[in-house]
Amino acid sequence: MSEEESNAGDIKDLQCAAVAISVTTVVFFVIYWAVQINSVRELLELAYG
């Protein structure tokens, strides 16, 4: 029983950690790529009008 509880606790912990990293990753990358694409767009506007 205690081994099952420990196992269940492990999985909850790992799932929480996984969600924390995944959400952070997605948020970071949305911001990062939006900034990159925007700066490319601005440069292109500057270059080609």
Partner 1 sequence: MINQLIYDFAIWVDGFAWSTLLHESYYMYNWIESTHVLTLILCLGMLFVIDLRMLGYALPNVPASDIARRLNLPMLIGFVVMFITGVLLFYAVPVRTAQSVWFRAKLILLVACAINAYLFHRRMTESVSSWDHDAKAPDRIRLGAILSLAFWTLVVIFGRFIAYDWFDCEYTDPGSFSQVLSGCIAGQEIF
Partner 2 sequence: MSASVSTTSNSYRKTITVAILLAMVLIFSLTDLRHETWLRLYEFFLWLEKTPFGIIGKTWGAVFAIVEAFHLLAMALLGGAVIVSDARLLGWLFVDVPAREILDRAHKVFVAGLIVVLATGVFMACGVAGKIYWLPVFWYKMLVLATGIFFVFFVRRPLLRHPLEEIHPWVLRSIAISSMLIWFTVAATGRWIGFAGS
CA–CA distance, 48 with 45 (Å, rounded to integer) = 5
Smaller CB distance to partner 2: residue 16 or 44?
Answer: 16
2-41 residues near partner 2, rule: CB under 8 A: 2, 5-7, 9-26, 29, 32
Could you say whether residue 40 binds partner 1 (CB under 8 A)?
yes
For partner 2, give the closer residue by CB, 5 or 49: 5
Count of CB atoms situated within 10 Å of the CB of 42: 10
Please state, in angstroms and rounded to a whole number, the distance separating the CA atoms of residues 43 and 24.
Answer: 29
Q: Which amino acid is at 38?
A: N
Enumerate binding residues for partner 2 (CB under 8 A). 1-2, 5-7, 9-26, 29, 32
